[in-house]
Amino acid sequence: MNESGCVLQVRGLCKEHGEGQGLVRAVDEVDLDVPAGQTLAVMGPSGCGKSTLLHLMGGLERPTRGEVRLAGRRIDTLSERALARLRRRSVGFVFQSFHLVEELSAAENVELPALLAGCSPRAARRRAASLLERFGLADGARRLPWQLSGGQRQRVAIARAIANEPLVLLADEPTGNLDTAATLDVLRLFGELRAAGQTLVIVTHDERVASTADRLISMRDGAFVDDTRLAGHGPGRLGGMLGLGD
Amino acid sequence: MGRILLVLRLVVADVRRHPAQAAILLVSITAATAMLSLGGSLHGATEKLYRHTRAATAGPDVVAYSPGTRRTTITALESLGRAPGVVAHSGPHRQYYTTLTAHGATGAAVVQVADQAPGPVGRPLLTSGGWVRPGGVVIERGFATALGVRVGDRVTVAGRSLPVTGIAVTAARSVYPWAPGIGPHGGPSDGGGLVWAAERDTRALESPDVPVTSFINLRLRDPAAARAFTTRDPAIAPAFEHTWVNVRAWQDVARQDSVMLRDSQPILVIGSWLLAFLAIGGLATLAAGRAAAQTRRVGLLKAVGAAPGLIAAVLFAEYVTLALLADALGLAAARLIEPAIVNPSASLITTATGPSAGTIVLTTTAALAVAVLTTLGPTVRALRTETVAALADGAREPQHRAHLTRISALMPTSLLLGIRLIARRPGRAVLHACGTAATMATVTGLMVIYAQPAKGYPGSPMANELRDAQQHHVILAVTAALIALAAVNTLTATWTTAEEARRTMAVARTLGATPGQVTAGLSAAQVLPTLPGALAGIPMGLILCLPFSGPDTIWPPAWSLLAAALTAPPVTAALAAIPARAAARRPVASTLSAEVP
């Protein structure tokens, strides 16, 4: 984190595809500060550049121009190797299609980031078991992804994303493939993470998800068109908003 | 007609879209069919060339030799020319045992006295230049090839420099270096090349120090009875009463010519089996790698109303067409290579007739079998998959190997990824290990052959050198083909693994695996099965050599075999790194965002 208390800082961020007549600005001169512990939702129509922005902030893509800083460290100029190391510890990703490793069980999927970060197998196993229990998946720990429901798979994916306690969790349409009940499960988990001080950036089409955030940014044609602070969203209100009778 | 056109259009489009895969398929099947065709063509190939040469040179049915030029010797040979059953003859002629020097190299030579116009039996066929004239010699083609001599070059015969007026082949003698037919003084031959010279030019050779033999070429009424003629037919017995005469039938000449290939044929046949195995392994891997894409293709075709028969035709047509093309290429390659193998000394007419109908049927069947067997599984699976499921994701579910996954957790990241990639598709790793074992078995065979000393049999040391060289060349070619195909297979396997696991590897990248670790992981997935495969290849190779070994066989030292096996993993790692590096550098975001992997 830098002196301003921002985990993520984006300045003049631009991502272009193609050239000449076919030039497309997926992200167009975007500036953004995400303070620690904030839950930021990014909304907009399909193709407006939400996912690209998320990828740029997580170092999965390189910008055409502009800067991305994570905890004060500029990451857009880092080598692939350095970016990979950064992702191990500082960034967690959650995807719409889960992207669990199909040949690994739920527990093995959650262990994977810790193993890649050099933890001992025992420590990784303990951490995975604790997360799966916390997420209500202790019984499904040995199951393979295709043996789990969509909601369970996304919970495993979230557990995997936070296994190394990242500075920021980037979620790309995390409820896009889920039914209502599973969506509520995921939102409950995000609520818990938010309460624990986890910085969250969520790209979504779902207004229910967006309404749980501290801040809502609307995007169109690669640029921000609105930036709204959503007041009064204490952790305790999330359940009420969702009608869960928290 | 419309359906056929549609199938062809789809096949052409797919080949254009995946040219590298089509090239791999072509190379693999071409190598296997070429080797299979060569192995099949060698049986009786030299005899066939000998018959052609015999027909073109009016080859004698029997050649009778007798040491010296005394009157009794000439009389005995002339009486053979009048013997019952003999319908024509040429000679008697003389041949001198001397040396020939050309381009600084000296070889044993037999100089035959040649008439200005050759007789009716045993008429050498000029392949270049003109026939013998006073002051110029004609050299037998095998001998000329060995010495690097061409028409117009000067050679030194018995200390006299003479120009080469022509190069010729003959069926009257065995191929170079067995040309003398009989040694000096009627003894065994030390081998040598054949030279024809005018009588005037051989006068310098008339010396007590230069052995000379007389010979006569005979044509029989019944050429098939030539062997019986040579076994002292009572009708020719008077000729042998006072003179030592050695007679050789044309069948003996043909048999001796084929000795050169005796050890080459099994090498080629076994080599073709191993190549076919590698081709099947490589193509099975390729087909499996394409299975997901093929399943989605099937989904698309089903969605637009294609019947299962049409879909199967589309899927099979591409591999079958490419297999038939590769078969034709393999047969053509074998046709081009065959003369160099069946006629290593170039002493016979190189009018190779190409593969027989049986060989063509064999190679075509093998090529089609390889194509059908490797595509059958993925095709059936694709046809059975429901349309929606096929459109969604055609990839076969990877296997979960809890034990391997647990072990890999103890390893560094590269090995962890590599072992987990093996655990996804263990059958692929076994196939790769078997391919390495087949290659190493051939390398072992090569090392065993190189470990043998040059034997130098009494009588014709040069012949054995040539035969050894021939055997070395053949196994070297087979080994080179196997190593090349194994390299192609390694590239294919790595590419296939990378294709199948690209989402998994992209996920690993999002979780913090570096491109280097992913590259190393993909390479490790190929390298780990290589070592047991290479080690298993050593005993396999030794077992393959056993039928050709004897009590005096020298086996290469164990350390050298082990060293050869240990070079396989680093070579595999280097090869696998090429596609692995390309795969590891794929953009993560686009891989994960893609609807269709």
Q: pLDDT tens digits for chain B (597 residues)?
A: 667 777 888 888 888 888 887 888 888 888 878 877 877 776 667 777 788 888 888 888 888 888 887 788 888 888 878 888 888 888 788 888 888 888 887 878 888 888 877 778 888 888 888 888 888 899 988 888 878 889 989 998 877 888 999 999 888 888 787 777 776 766 666 677 889 988 888 887 787 788 888 888 888 888 888 887 777 655 566 656 667 778 888 888 888 777 766 666 677 777 777 777 777 777 777 777 777 777 777 777 777 777 777 788 888 888 888 899 999 998 998 888 877 777 767 777 776 567 788 888 988 998 888 888 777 877 787 777 766 666 665 555 677 778 888 888 888 888 888 888 888 888 888 888 888 888 888 888 878 877 877 655 444 445 556 667 777 777 788 788 878 888 888 888 888 888 888 888 888 988 888 899 999 999 999 899 999 999 999 998 888 888 877 788 888 999 999 999 999 999 999 988 988 888 888 888 878 876 433
| A219-246: average pLDDT | 66
How high is the pLDDT of residue B596?
39
Closest-CA distance, B584 to chain A, in angstroms, reads 11
How high is the pLDDT of residue B59?
84
- B contact test, residue of A78, A102, A105, A142 with most B CBs within 10 A: A102
Put simply, whether B454 touches A (Cβ < 8 Å) is no
Contact criterion met (CB < 8 Å) for A160 and B420: no
Q: Which member of B406, B424, B508 has the closest CB to residue A116?
A: B508
Q: Which member of B409, B511, B589 has the closest CB to residue A113?
A: B511
How high is the pLDDT of residue B459?
42
Contact criterion met (CB < 8 Å) for A60 and B507: no
- A contact test, residue of B510, B517, B518, B586 with most A CBs within 10 A: B510
Higher pLDDT, A195 or B71: A195
How high is the pLDDT of residue B2?
65
How high is the pLDDT of residue B592?
81
| A119-131: average pLDDT | 91
How high is the pLDDT of residue B353?
63
In terms of CA atoms, which chain A residue is nearest residue B415? A116
DSSP-derived secondary structure for B453-486: PP---TT-HHHHHHHHHHHHHHHHHHHHHHHHHH
Q: How far is it, in rounded angstroms, from Cα B109 to Cα B98?
A: 5
Closest-CA distance, A161 to chain B, in angstroms, reads 8
Put simply, whether B403 touches A (Cβ < 8 Å) is no
Put simply, whether B582 touches A (Cβ < 8 Å) is no
Closest-CA distance, B398 to chain A, in angstroms, reads 6
How high is the pLDDT of residue B272?
72
Q: Report the C-alpha dihedral over residues B510, A128, B498, B383, rounded to 10 degrees.
A: -120
pLDDT confidence bin for A36, thresholds 50/70/90: very high
Strand stretches in A53-205, DSSP E? 65-70, 73-74, 91-94, 168-172, 199-203
Closest-CA distance, A237 to chain B, in angstroms, reads 32
- C-beta neighbour count of B156 within 10 angstroms: 13
Contact criterion met (CB < 8 Å) for B409 and A124: yes
- The span from the first CA to the last CA of chain B, in angstroms, equals 34
In terms of CA atoms, which chain B residue is nearest residue A144? B400
Q: Which member of A51, A95, A102 has the closest CB to residue B397?
A: A102
Closest-CA distance, A204 to chain B, in angstroms, reads 15
The tokens of B299 are what? 């989904």
Contact criterion met (CB < 8 Å) for A95 and B512: no
- B contact test, residue of A17, A91, A115, A143 with most B CBs within 10 A: A115
List CB contacts (< 8 A) between B504 and chain A: 101-103
Q: How many CB pairs under 8 A join A and B?
A: 88
Contact criterion met (CB < 8 Å) for A81 and B504: no
ipTM of the prediction: 0.80
Strand order of the sheet with strand A199-203?
A91-94, A168-172, A199-203, A39-43, A215-220, A223-229
* Chain A residue set in contact with B, beta carbons under 8 Å: 51-52, 55, 58, 60-61, 80-81, 84-89, 93, 95, 99-105, 108, 111-113, 115-117, 121, 124-125, 144, 146, 160, 164
How high is the pLDDT of residue A157?
93
Contact criterion met (CB < 8 Å) for A103 and B416: no
pLDDT confidence bin for A154, thresholds 50/70/90: very high
Q: Which member of A52, A87, A99 has the closest CB to residue B512?
A: A87
Put simply, whether B507 touches A (Cβ < 8 Å) is yes
Q: Which member of B424, B511, B589 has the closest CB to residue A103?
A: B424
Put simply, whether B504 touches A (Cβ < 8 Å) is yes
Closest-CA distance, B414 to chain A, in angstroms, reads 9
Closest-CA distance, A61 to chain B, in angstroms, reads 7
Contact criterion met (CB < 8 Å) for A99 and B517: no
* Owner of token pair 């035959």: B112
How high is the pLDDT of residue A33?
94
Q: How far is it, in rounded angstroms, from Cα B230 to Cα B415?
A: 73
Which residues have C-beta within 8 Å of that of residue B420, sequence separation ≥ 6? Answer: A101, A103, A104, B404, B405, B408, B521
Residues B158, B204 contacting (CB under 8 angstroms): yes
Closest-CA distance, A233 to chain B, in angstroms, reads 31
Backbone angles phi and psi of B356, in degrees to 5: -75, 170
How high is the pLDDT of residue B337?
80
| A15-33: average pLDDT | 89
| A21-27: average pLDDT | 87
Q: How far is it, in rounded angstroms, from Cα B167 to Cα B152?
A: 10
Among B258, B254, B251, smallest CA distance to B230 is for B251
How high is the pLDDT of residue B175?
78
Q: How far is it, in rounded angstroms, from Cα B334 to Cα B353?
A: 11
Q: How far is it, in rounded angstroms, from Cα B241 to Cα B175?
A: 31
How high is the pLDDT of residue B240?
64
Closest-CA distance, A217 to chain B, in angstroms, reads 22
Contact criterion met (CB < 8 Å) for B516 and A108: no
Contact criterion met (CB < 8 Å) for B515 and A80: yes
List CB contacts (< 8 A) between B429 and chain A: none
Residues A215, A228 contacting (CB under 8 angstroms): yes
Closest-CA distance, B15 to chain A, in angstroms, reads 27
Q: Which member of A89, A99, A113 has the closest CB to residue B592?
A: A99
Contact criterion met (CB < 8 Å) for B587 and A61: yes
* Owner of token pair 């992200």: A27
Reported as a single tens digit per residue, the pLDDT across A76-100 is: 999 888 888 888 889 999 988 888 8
Which residues have C-beta within 8 Å of that of residue B592, sequence separation ≥ 6? Answer: A60, A95, A99, B503, B506, B507, B510
Q: How far is it, in rounded angstroms, from Cα B377 to Cα A163?
A: 40
